[in-house]
Structure 1
Amino acid sequence: MKHELRPMVDLSRRIFTLRHIETGEYICLRQDRTEYVACFSDGDSAGQFREEMGLIEHVDLAPMPLSETPFDHYWLDGEMLGRNALTNNGAASYPAG
């Protein structure tokens, strides 16, 4: 099976996570018993997701470098990624699929 190459996600990339206002807990999505922290590459997308989910009164946007999130699995802009898809250099690639 031939794999196309996709760029890896740079660990220094600034992302926006969603955090509960009162508890500070990150908002995550669960699939197959794995939690993926919800994160977005821009504040507008994060804000739109927060609004569509009805979380405006309960969740703040928290900008930070991707490397500072305490998770191994990410739901980044709607794509589920594991830490193995991250790099310190935005030029690397990994097999798709």
Structure 2
Amino acid sequence: MRKPAAVSVRLSSVPRCLRHGVANSSLDDAGALAAFLQKAVAALLAEGDSLPDDGSAYGLELCFDLLRDKIAIAAGELPFPTIGHDETLPPLWTHLKQVGGHD
């Protein structure tokens, strides 16, 4: 049986791109990402007809995946705890080495 997800987790255990300190911050993050991507892609496309072949298209795809994750978190479709600076809070995940696993 799975244990219930924590409501708040330790800051140091959460990837920077998914750190949400208050309930609506993921929606604010999604809005900021959307605005940046719109302007960045418009600027790139103004320089030519397509994205440069330097990994930019893949990077753009990753940005949109992150944007979708933030929207899903804000919509409650992807449960995700808020973060706290209290080191006594549980971690979001435990590294395998800490639980006797292998790399």
Question: Normalising by structure 1, what TM-score?
Answer: 0.28
Q: Which has the larger radius of gyration?
A: 2
User: Whose helix fraction is larger, Structure 1's or Structure 2's?
Assistant: 2
Question: Per residue, is there more strand in 1 or in 2?
Answer: 1
Higher relative contact order (CA 8 A, sep 6+): 2
